[in-house]
Amino acid sequence: MTKQTGIVILAAGNSSRLGFPKQLLEFEGESLLKRISKEALAIPHANVAVVIGAYPDPINAALKESNVHVVINPHWATGMSTSIVFGLSDLLKYQPNLDRCIISLCDQPFVDRHVFQQLIHLADRTEKGIVATGFSGIWGAPVLFDRKYFEQLMELEGQQGARKVAEQFPEDRVIVNHEAAKYDIDTQEDYFNLPHQFISVQQAKDIIHHYLPAPKQLRLVLEDALGYTLAQTVIAEQSIPGFPQSSMDGYAIRFCDKDEELSVVDRIPAGTTVEKKMKPGQAMRIYTGAPLPRGADTVVMQEKIDLSEGNVIRIQDKALRLGDNVRLQGSEVMAGTIAMLPGTTLTPAAIGYLAGIGCTDILVTAPPRIQLILTGDELKAIGTTLGYGEVYESNSYQLKAALRQLGILHVESQHVVDDKDQLKVALENALTESDIVLLVGGVSVGDYDYVVDVAKACGIKQRFHRIRQKPGKPLFFGTQQEKLIFGLPGNPSSALTCFYLYVAPALERIMQLPERKRSIQTHTTHAYSKKPGLTHFLKARYDGHAVEPLHAQESYRLQSFAQANCLLILEEDSNGCAAGDEVFIHLLT
């Protein structure tokens, strides 16, 4: 006779360390709670109770189309024990003759129906009363309990969980090994550490951002620093200007003498190195940039005076004010004060300013060392004759050009045929010599797509493999310590799309380049239809008023990409757009 099985899913906590309900956190396209509920309901003849507490309204709404029993635990804050009691009580209300119960959590993304089935099968085969899940040398949830332990479960108090009961009966306990059960989610770090597979566009961006390494620094001579980001606070060693100077050609005077006839007693050109002194009733001819003589405090424009015989001037400027046309000492920057802050982009003007205060070399944010590995037997170098089934290798040209636009001028690249051993050697060497590796091609799931397996063999931790988007669905992202590894699709259009969407923003942050507003809202000139399920990125042209989707949207075609200046974004749940609809675009330049 088939035993009656119930499953209690504990989902009442407030996710305090995460900061928002982890029950609703998305994993592989659906919330954790919806996923585990669906897996539990897949067990034949099982009744499933989900115990909620801290967020009853949004969680209830998420389960409204599910066949689970939703049980609200008003005492969730007192500890997990109350949720176990509420869940088991609910099951017994509907199945008084329940033979066993599985206690499960909602935050173990790799616990599924197969784990539940293994617990049930092992309980039947061994006739043990407690079957726990083992991982990483320990055991824990989910745990199956025979009916004979229901009384002990109902007597749990406070923070005591089902483990309290299971620990008391080791002779009646057996373990099902499921290593992936070690993954649970209490913090954002836990979530990003999951080996994700098929994720959304936003999740991919968030995961990449989470793993960006701290910026590195590089000291450069000033003339080589164009386009970099300053990584130090620059303190002026001297005041600029270092002396009061004239801002135009004219006459240096004392303002209090402006209504008198003044004798011009000297001439001061720019570059004068001897300080001049001026007495009352005197003026001195002065030129732009020249040091003001001691005693003078104002400069009169040469067009605003009358010059008479005997080199005497009379001022004809009724609007003249004290200090006019004088650059005060330190008016640009005072000695000992901040001249430039970290994060400043080193434009030609910034470099000129730093040169003006005497800088010879500066500390900048270093560009990462990047290596390209192009994979595929079919790839041939341009300039050679193509054979049947062969294509010219173009990805290295477009990706290097895109990297140069970001200020990364030196990029190593190599072509590797479809051979696991050769690819492994190339990747291991690239990891020792670079900060970021861009693998191009071989990233899907075909018989000759070796990138993911080889990356894992090299000790790279997969962070995600595929994205719910078109083009560029097969996109691998992994890390090895602080090194980033991107596996881009081989189709040139897909590779460039993924570069612009994910690699370029990561590089801009690593290099601390100024943040650019890439996403803007506009209207589309033409309709475009799609099925829900994937975010579409269309090659498009934006004229400042509206966006036009271009022809040739296939992932292998670059002709339209060569005319595009943006990507038109159609979200994954949309059916496309009509002409005149508001849409978002991602600017490429």
Q: Name the amino acid, one letter, at 178.
A: H
Share of the chain above pLDDT 70, in %: 100
pLDDT of 126: 95
Q: How confident is the model at residue 552 (pLDDT cuts 50, 70, 90)?
A: confident
pLDDT of 1: 65
472, HSE (Cβ side, Cα atoms, 13 Å)? 30
- The yes-or-no verdict on residue 483 having pLDDT over 70 is yes
Q: How confident is the model at residue 409 (pLDDT cuts 50, 70, 90)?
A: confident
- The yes-or-no verdict on residue 267 having pLDDT over 80 is yes
Residues 154, 226: Cα–Cα separation, whole Å: 70
Task: Provide φ and ψ at 505, rounded to 5°.
Answer: -60, -35
Q: For the packed helices 32-41 and 113-126, what is the interaxial angle rounded to 10 degrees?
A: 40
- Tell me which residue has tokens 């590796």: 437
Cα dist from 448 to 57, 378, 453, whole Å: 48, 12, 11
Residues 571, 246: Cα–Cα separation, whole Å: 61
pLDDT of 123: 95
Q: Residues 144, 131: contact at Cβ < 8 Å?
A: yes
Instruction: For residue range 201-250, list pLDDT tens digits in order.
Output: 999 999 999 999 999 999 999 999 998 899 999 999 889 999 999 999 99
Residue 171 corresponds to which tokens in the numbers above? Answer: 């002779």
Residue 293 corresponds to which tokens in the numbers above? Answer: 């003589």
Instruction: For residue range 570-579, list pLDDT tens digits in order.
Output: 999 999 999 9
Instruction: For residue range 328-380, list pLDDT tens digits in order.
Output: 999 999 999 999 999 898 999 999 999 988 899 999 999 999 999 999 999 99
Q: How confident is the model at residue 65 (pLDDT cuts 50, 70, 90)?
A: confident
User: What is the average pLDDT score of the chain?
Assistant: 93
Q: How confident is the model at residue 15 (pLDDT cuts 50, 70, 90)?
A: confident
Task: Provide φ and ψ at 229, rounded to 5°.
Answer: -110, 130
Question: Higher pLDDT residue, 59 or 416?
Answer: 416
Q: Residues 53, 83: contact at Cβ < 8 Å?
A: yes
Q: Name the amino acid, one letter, at 187.
A: T
Selection from 431, 393, 387 nearest residue 412 by Cα: 431
- No. of H helices and E strands in the chain? 14, 38
Q: With H, G, I as helix, E, B as strand and everything else as coil, classify residue 533.
A: coil
- The yes-or-no verdict on residue 513 having pLDDT over 90 is no
pLDDT of 515: 79
Q: Residues 560, 585: contact at Cβ < 8 Å?
A: no
Q: How confident is the model at residue 64 (pLDDT cuts 50, 70, 90)?
A: confident
pLDDT of 464: 93
**Lowest mean per-residue pLDDT among 59-68, 525-534, 561-570:** 59-68
Residue 287, Cβ neighbours under 10 Å: how many?
A: 17
Question: Higher pLDDT residue, 432 or 136?
Answer: 432
| Radius of gyration of the chain, Cα coordinates, nearest whole angstrom | 36
pLDDT of 337: 93
Residues 436, 426: Cα–Cα separation, whole Å: 14
Entry field: residues in the chain = 589
